[in-house]
């Protein structure tokens, strides 16, 4: 009886402990999640934005509930914004390579010369050249996050509001330029609150339309991030009557969702093959215009928009889709022109979109590329070399006798060196210089009869009256040089 009771108690305790152990093991296996949430409302040189601070607070709460370790920063200057991104990247590096890093930014963002910039609250650009000096480049943020190992990087930008700076808002172009996540580090997801080249609304409520839709959609358990932002796109388009359509670009290779665990999330949409024109014709055939409209908005591709315009020419949604299609084609052409960054690419863009809001920027960049190309063609060494004096100087007389041509292969003045296997090089001795030998003077020899000086007897020197000539020269051996071979 006692044993039976004890056994029953142990089983009951095991049933109570098992879920706790399972939850703990799942928590240990779960990926680390870090988030940086930035809200820029209190702009000093322009009208403040009311909603970014609210959007940042709402997103910080949502992400904390989704298991993120959230760092918040609001109303940042340029230095503070750079420091916040740097500190966040350091935290990601400390957590390790299995970390999901998410950055949410609400505030002003503009494009200059095809580059996107996040706008600190203390900027006041008077010309476009001031923006790179005063703002923070979006690519710098992306590169900083990509420089540390992580599982994925999620960038959410509610930053496509109007350009508020009167000195530059007529020439910079509307909205943000496209950023292709596929050309950067794999595992990146970027979302804009509206399409490239378009402006987002701050909203009449407490939050912007983009943040409002995201807070609702993200809470659905097990919903993959790609599908979640398709639904955000449809919801925002309905809320704004097509004036604002969020956009995203993804190079994710793994699944992710905000709630419910990543194991149940759908595979990334990047793994699926894009639908062709014929596929879209079959998918939209027989659909009601509203249902077809939601399908192509969710997909947000040029092919889907082209098929919708062709099939539903009289539908009330067609003007919105046609406007989206035209702007997307222009922004795609602008993205390619900036990537190529040549006078030819900008010229081709101007030929197609010379009357658009990006024309002024394209002309400036075209001239800059042409000047750069001209500078590259110059050869500084040739330009700096002195002029060749090909004609003879008037003060010098011309040579009347022809120069003696040298042999094509004159004999070497010195034998080649001998190189041994161990690397020793031995040069043969040079031929020694000639040695000067002074002439040897001898007494003259005479051909006349022999006579002796008086008093010398028969042993005195013999003196001849006439010297003997040898070889037509004077007597004795001539001086000269002896060459030693």
* 41-92 tens-digit pLDDT: 999 999 999 899 999 999 999 999 999 999 999 999 999 999 999 999 999 9
Kindly give the interhelix angle for 225-239 and 289-299, rounded to the nearest 10 degrees.
130
Tell whether the model's pLDDT for residue 461 goes beyond 60.
no
pLDDT, residue 451, reads 54
In the numeric block, the tokens 């992400």 are attached to 63
Q: In terms of C-beta density within 10 A (0-12 exposed, 13-18 middle, 19 or more buried), how is residue 185 classed?
A: middle
Q: What is the DSSP letter of 480?
A: E
Kindly give the interhelix angle for 138-146 and 78-95, rounded to the nearest 10 degrees.
20
> Per residue in 237-284, pLDDT tens?
999 999 999 999 999 999 999 998 665 555 554 445 789 999 999 999
Average pLDDT over residues 355-379: 85
**68 found inside a domain:** yes
Domain count, the chain: 1
Cα–Cα distance between 349 and 337 in angstroms, integer? 7
Predicted TM-score (pTM) of this structure: 0.72
pLDDT, residue 416, reads 63
pLDDT, residue 2, reads 41
**210 found inside a domain:** yes
Cα–Cα distance between 297 and 315 in angstroms, integer? 15
434 Rama sector, left if φ>0, alpha if ψ -120 to 50, beta otherwise: beta
pLDDT, residue 203, reads 77
Do β-strands 32-39 and 99-106 pair in parallel, antiparallel, or remain unpaired? parallel
Structural domain of residue 126, as residue ranges? 30-272
**467 found inside a domain:** no
In the chain, the percentage of residues whose pLDDT exceeds 90 is: 61
Cα–Cα distance between 117 and 138 in angstroms, integer? 5
**95 found inside a domain:** yes
**52 found inside a domain:** yes
20: pLDDT confidence band, cut at 50, 70 and 90? very low
What CATH code is carried by the domain that includes residue 233? 3.40.50.1460
Residues 6+ apart with CB under 8 A from 378: none
**300 found inside a domain:** no
In the chain, the percentage of residues whose pLDDT exceeds 70 is: 68
**405 found inside a domain:** no
Cα–Cα distance between 277 and 297 in angstroms, integer? 16
Residues 6+ apart with CB under 8 A from 129: none
**311 found inside a domain:** no
Tell whether the model's pLDDT for residue 434 goes beyond 90.
no
205: pLDDT confidence band, cut at 50, 70 and 90? confident
Residues 6+ apart with CB under 8 A from 337: 114, 345, 346, 348, 349, 362, 365
């Amino acid at each position: 009886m006692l044993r039976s009771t004890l056994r029953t108690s142990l089983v009951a305790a095991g049933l109570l402990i098992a879920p706790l152990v399972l939850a703990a093991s799942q928590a240990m296996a779960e990926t680390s999640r870090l988030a940086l949430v930035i809200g820029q409302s209190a702009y000093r040189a322009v009208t403040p934005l009311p909603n970014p601070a609210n959007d940042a607070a709402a997103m910080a709460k949502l992400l904390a509930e989704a298991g993120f370790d959230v760092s918040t920063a609001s109303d940042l200057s340029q230095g503070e914004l750079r420091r916040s991104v740097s500190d966040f990247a350091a935290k990601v590096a400390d957590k390790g390579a299995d970390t999901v890093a998410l950055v949410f930014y609400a505030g002003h963002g503009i494009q200059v010369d095809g580059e996107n910039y996040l706008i600190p609250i203390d900027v006041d650009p008077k010309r476009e050249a001031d923006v790179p000096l005063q703002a923070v480049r979006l690519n710098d943020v992306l590169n900083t996050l990509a420089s540390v190992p992580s599982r994925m990087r999620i960038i959410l930008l509610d930053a496509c509001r109007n350009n508020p700076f009167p000195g530059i808002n007529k020439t910079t172009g509307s909205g943000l330029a496209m950023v292709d996540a596929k050309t950067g580090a794999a595992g990146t997801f970027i979302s804009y609150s509206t399409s490239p080249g378009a402006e987002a609304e701050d909203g009449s409520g407490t939050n912007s339309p983009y943040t409002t839709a995201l807070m609702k959609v993200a809470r659905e358990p097990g919903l993959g991030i790609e599908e979640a932002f398709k639904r955000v796109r449809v919801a925002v388009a309905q809320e704004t009557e097509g004036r604002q359509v969020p956009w995203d670009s993804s190079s994710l290779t793994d699944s992710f969702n905000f709630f419910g665990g990543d194991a149940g999330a759908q595979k990334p949409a990047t793994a699926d093959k894009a639908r062709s024109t014929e596929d879209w014709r079959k998918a939209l055939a027989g659909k009601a215009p509203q249902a077809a409209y939601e399908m192509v908005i969710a997909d947000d591709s040029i092919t889907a928009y082209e098929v919708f315009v062709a099939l539903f020419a009289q539908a009330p949604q067609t003007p919105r889709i046609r406007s989206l299609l035209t702007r997307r084609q222009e922004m795609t052409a602008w993205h390619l022109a900036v990537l190529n960054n040549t006078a030819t690419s900008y010229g081709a863009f101007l030929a197609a979109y010379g009357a658009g809001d990006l024309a002024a920027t394209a002309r400036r960049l075209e001239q800059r590329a042409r000047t750069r190309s001209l500078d590259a063609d110059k050869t500084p060494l040739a330009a700096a070399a002195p002029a060749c004096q090909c004609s003879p100087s008037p003060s010098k007389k011309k040579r009347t006798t022809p120069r003696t041509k040298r042999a094509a292969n004159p004999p070497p003045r010195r034998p080649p060196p001998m190189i041994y296997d161990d690397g020793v090089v031995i040069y043969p001795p040079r031929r020694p210089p000639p040695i000067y030998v002074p002439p040897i003077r001898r007494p003259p020899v005479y051909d006349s009869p022999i006579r002796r000086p008086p008093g010398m007897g028969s042993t005195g020197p013999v003196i001849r009256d006439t010297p003997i000539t040898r070889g037509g020269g004077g007597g004795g051996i001539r001086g000269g040089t002896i060459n030693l071979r």
